[in-house]
Amino acid sequence: MQSLRSLGLNPSYRAPSSWWEHVPIAHWLVAQLQPGLIVELGSHYGVSFFSFCEAAAAFSEHSFVYAVDNWQGDEHAGAYGEEVFQRVSLEQQQQHSQRSRLVRSSFDEAATHFAPQSLDLIHIDGLHTYAAVQHDLNTWLPKLKPGGTILFHDINVRERDFGVWQLWEELKGATDVHTVEVLNGHGLGIATYAAAAPAWHAQFSEVAALLTAKGQLLEQLAQLRPDSTFGETDLRPYKQQLQQAQAENKYLRDHSLRTAVKRLLHR
């Protein structure tokens, strides 16, 4: 199936993140939508950001990705040191300088440098209180092209003062907003601002379980060694478990995913 070619892409950048389960979704979206400008609000170690970049490199040469972050942290991500920005910056310069740019500032300051209705895809993943995410949406929605899409991470976190779920409920009932979602991996909401739901939403619903199965595998692999690439020895004790998961999970029996998993195992 043409819409599944992104399953063959395996991430080459690895770092700690709660976003791993959605990486195949980011790959699929970029391959499918061929977005012009993508802006991410909240990148931290860059796992979601580089998933857009890697998919752009593989499937969408005209995409350009901006990562906006102060690279200092927030109440939910915690404060972190300068080494995080250095790591993201090095990878961006070495692998993706022609298709991306880091914007080190507050989200509000960055918003003043983007034209109205200029963005195809926005990923909102900053502070996750209701007030913060609502503010980020209100600030950046005017920057979205008609028919454009906004991704919201953490729509399914029901603890502490996380409130993305509440905003997400409101969006699901709003006029001229069409939504699809996955609830695993803290939840990812996909909202398209258009008069009618785009055809790709139905396609997404068909392939979401398959993308999620690969995402869960990536999450497990990332947890095993979050900070470095995997060598054969690292994976050996884990292979059996993966093969077991593959046998049990009907989605992993799909040919293209089997090929993707094989590639992961033999890196």
Ligand X SMILES: C[S@@+](CC[C@H](N)C(=O)[O-])C[C@H]1O[C@@H](n2cnc3c(N)ncnc32)[C@H](O)[C@@H]1O
| Axis-axis angle for helices 199-224, 232-248 (nearest 10) | 140
Under the binding rule (CB under 6 A), the answer on residue 100 touching ligand X is no
Segment interacting with ligand X, rule: CB under 6 A, options 36-44, 165-173, 183-191, 210-218: 36-44
- 106 counts as binding ligand X under rule CB under 6 A: yes
The least CB distance from residue 88 to ligand X, in Å, is 10
Residue from 11, 24, 35, 126 binding ligand X (CB under 6 A): 126
CB of 205 to ligand X, least distance (A): 23
Dist. CA 6–CA 34, nearest whole Å: 12
- Write the single-letter amino acid at 158: R
- Residue 119 near residue 148, CB atoms below 8 Å: yes
Site string for ligand X, 37-76 (x = CB under 6 A): -----xxxx-xx--------------------xxxxxx--
Min. distance of Cβ 70 from ligand X in angstroms? 4
Number of residues that bind ligand X (CB under 6 A): 20
Q: With CA atoms as reference, report the closest residue to 145 among 214, 200, 192.
A: 192
Q: Which residues lie near ligand X (CB under 6 A)?
A: 17, 19, 42-45, 47-48, 69-74, 77, 106-107, 125-127
